[in-house]
Amino acid sequence: MKIRRTDPHTLLGAYALDALTGADRARFARHLGVCESCRQEAWGMQEATGRLGSAAITQPPDRLREQVLATAARTRQLPPLTRETSAWPGRRWGMAVACGLFAVALAFGGIAINMKHQLSQEQAHTGAIAGVLNAPDATMMTARAVDGGTATVVMSHLDGALVFTAARLPALPSSKRYQLWLMGSGGARPEGMLPAPHQGVTAPMVVEGLAAGEKVGLTVESAGGAKHPTSRPILLLSLHS
């Protein structure tokens, strides 16, 4: 995962103005997840930017009202988030499994990271994961890999980020590893190598800077990673909202 060395606080204004692109925005959202005073300041700034927006008031066409009200009347609403249940409608069981999976994966990933004495990095990573899981539009998807194993993705379009973890993928020879990609019309962007699994489960990876219409893919590459996929994806998942 890329870590910026610059002071993230300087990005507060740009964040509140939506002047950060997907990757920067997700990185900053991750920082907000671990910085209470930054969250407070960001909310204050969003009040100010909200007023900028209100000042641009323009009468919309009359038909919009009817369209919106009619569509709303036949659109199901999201339930509130509560402490004891996860709030993804109709997917509670699946989400409970996913959260369990993430918890297990985090525990293992956490141990590995602690051993490297990179606590702040771990906190940021955990914050980023929590950010995606708690996003109002968080959506969970699972996909089966061609040779067995499954991947679980929780994605937030609002954050432009997703959390990826895989379970029971076929073991690879030491010269090979799984590599994660974002694949869109502009080609494939490498998003990092999947960590080695612990008891079959890989630690969660946060992928940021999602663009519309992209898919997340997994290929088998040489252990050092590749710049472009050199084999057919063993798993490809469309990231619809």
Partner 1 sequence: MKDSRSWPPPDDPGEGQPPARGQRQTGHGGDLGALLARVARGDQPAFEAVYDSVAGQVFGVARSVLRDPAQAEEVAQEVLLEVWRTASRFEAGRGSGTAWVMMLAHRRAVDRVRSRQASAQREIRASSPDIDYDVVAETVEGRLDAERVRKCLGGLTELQRESITLAYYGGYTYREVAGLLEVAVGTVKTRMRDGLIRLRDCLGVDG
The contact set with partner 1 (CB under 8 A) reads 9-14, 16-22, 36, 40, 43-61, 64-65, 67-69, 71-73, 75-83, 130, 134, 136-137, 157-158, 185-186, 211-213
**Which residues, other chains included, contact 220 with Cβ-Cβ below 8 Å and sequence gap of 6+?**
172, 176, 177, 178, 179, 231, 234
- Shortest spacing between CB 219 and partner 1, in angstroms: 23
Q: Which is nearer to partner 1, 70 or 146 (CB)?
A: 70
Q: Is 98 exposed, middle or buried (0-12, 13-18, 19+ CB in 10 A)?
A: buried
Say how many residues make up the chain: 241
- Count the alpha carbons within 13 Å of 144 in the hemisphere toward its beta carbon: 3
Backbone phi, then psi, for 87, in 5-degree steps?
-110, 30
Q: Which is nearer to partner 1, 74 or 116 (CB)?
A: 74
Distance in angstroms (rounded) separating the CA atoms of residues 135 and 78: 12
Distance in angstroms (rounded) separating the CA atoms of residues 191 and 139: 20
Q: Which is nearer to partner 1, 12 or 183 (CB)?
A: 12
Q: Which is nearer to partner 1, 131 or 149 (CB)?
A: 131
End-to-end CA distance of the chain: 24
Q: Which is nearer to partner 1, 81 or 196 (CB)?
A: 81
- Shortest spacing between CB 39 and partner 1, in angstroms: 8
- Shortest spacing between CB 210 and partner 1, in angstroms: 10
Q: Which is nearer to partner 1, 68 or 223 (CB)?
A: 68
C-alpha to C-alpha distances, 95 to 76, 103, 152, 164, nearest whole angstrom: 19, 12, 10, 14
- Shortest spacing between CB 36 and partner 1, in angstroms: 6
Asked if residues 148 and 200 have their Cβ atoms less than 8 Å apart, the reply is no
- Shortest spacing between CB 224 and partner 1, in angstroms: 29
Closest CA to 208 of 27, 33, 31, 35: 27
Q: Which is nearer to partner 1, 112 or 158 (CB)?
A: 158
- Shortest spacing between CB 33 and partner 1, in angstroms: 9
- Shortest spacing between CB 182 and partner 1, in angstroms: 12
